[in-house]
Amino acid sequence: MAFRFHIAAAILALVFTIVHASDPSPLQDFCVAVPDANAGVFVNGKICKDPKLVEAEDFFFPGLNEPGSTSNPLGSNVTTVNVNQIPGLNTLGVSLARIDFAPYGLNPPHTHPRATEILVVLEGTLLVGFVTSNPGMNMKNKLFTKVLNPGDVFLFPEGLIHFQFNKGHSNAVAFAGLSSQNPGVITIANAVFGSKPPISRDVLTKAFQVDKNVVKYLQSQFWRDNHYYP
Ligand SMILES: *[C@@H]1O[C@H](CO)[C@@H](O)[C@H](O)[C@H]1NC(C)=O
């Protein structure tokens, strides 16, 4: 009986760790992160500053009215404000980004492994979309896409591949809320073709069903990250 209970408890514990995909809930008002780069101890999240030493600055970040520079090949710049910019975000499960686009600028297909994203357009016209995970045998991943104008809000569910493209010939600006203090970003092209060390050419040639020279060409590109961490 006791043994069975233990098995059930173990299974439940496992299920809960699997189901609980987003940031864990805080266990106190706040747990302002201390710079822990040299702490020599690594925890899930960051260790807390003494609450008596916490000040308003710990919850503050200025300057998001300034556009990030879009003079790069993608014509976009994602200025991220996460727990590394605002230490007070530690354990609170949210963060923010400002995304600037030059005319025809692109925030290329990417995913946030730990966050859902809700985006609002302030300026310009964006073609956005996300693709579902593999739906099943012989079925295609479904694209949900939309053209957004100022004031429009669009949602990108956690973990799914998405993009934003400025289809107008003026600049565009959007802000995004993300459901993690540290959403993470995997830019698909960078991760697949720009990793170090590189993924074996045999693997990519077969995965993408192309000639080896196509993979060679793609791997020789400089896959720049359009994210900026002030
Ligand atoms: C993004 O903008 C910042 C601030 O203007 C700049 O320092 C950074 O180099 C830009 N990043 C890219 C990829 O252009």
228 lines ligand 1 (CB under 6 A): yes
69 lines ligand 1 (CB under 6 A): yes
In the three-class reduction of DSSP (H, G, I as helix; E, B as strand; rest coil), residue 153 is classed as: strand
205 lines ligand 1 (CB under 6 A): no
Q: Tell me the C-alpha to C-alpha distance, in Å, between residue 183 and each of 91, 110, 146, 175, 176.
A: 12, 12, 23, 15, 12
66 lines ligand 1 (CB under 6 A): no
pLDDT band at 10 (very low <50, low <70, confident <90, very high): low
The string of pLDDT tens digits covering residues 150-178 is: 999 999 999 999 999 999 999 999 999 99
What is the value of pTM for the model shown?
A: 0.88
pLDDT at 13 over 70: no
Report the distance separating Cα 151 and Cα 175, nearest Å.
Answer: 11
DSSP string, 80-107: EESTTT-GGGTTT--EEEEEEE-TT-EE
> What is the dotted CATH code of the domain comprising 63-228?
2.60.120.10
In the three-class reduction of DSSP (H, G, I as helix; E, B as strand; rest coil), residue 169 is classed as: coil
68 lines ligand 1 (CB under 6 A): yes
Report the distance separating Cα 195 and Cα 192, nearest Å.
Answer: 6
Rg (CA), the chain: 21
Query: Is 138 flagged in the annotation as binding?
Result: no
pLDDT of residue 41: 80
What is the whole-number distance in angstroms between the Cα of residue 98 and the centre of ligand 1? 12
The string of pLDDT tens digits covering residues 179-217 is: 999 999 999 999 999 999 999 999 999 999 999 999 999
In the three-class reduction of DSSP (H, G, I as helix; E, B as strand; rest coil), residue 56 is classed as: helix
Domain boundaries, the chain: 2-58, 63-228
Report the distance separating Cα 67 and Cα 138, nearest Å.
Answer: 44
Atom of ligand 1 nearest to the CA of 225: 13
Identity at 22, one-letter amino acid code: S
| Pair of tokens at residue 191 | 């991760």
What is the whole-number distance in angstroms between the Cα of residue 89 and the centre of ligand 1? 23
pLDDT of residue 19: 55
CB count, 10 Å around CB of 199?
15
Count the alpha carbons within 13 Å of 35 in the hemisphere toward its beta carbon: 2
The string of pLDDT tens digits covering residues 94-151 is: 999 999 999 999 999 999 999 999 999 999 999 999 999 999 999 999 999 999 999 9
Query: Is 162 flagged in the annotation as binding?
Result: yes
| Pair of tokens at residue 116 | 């859902």
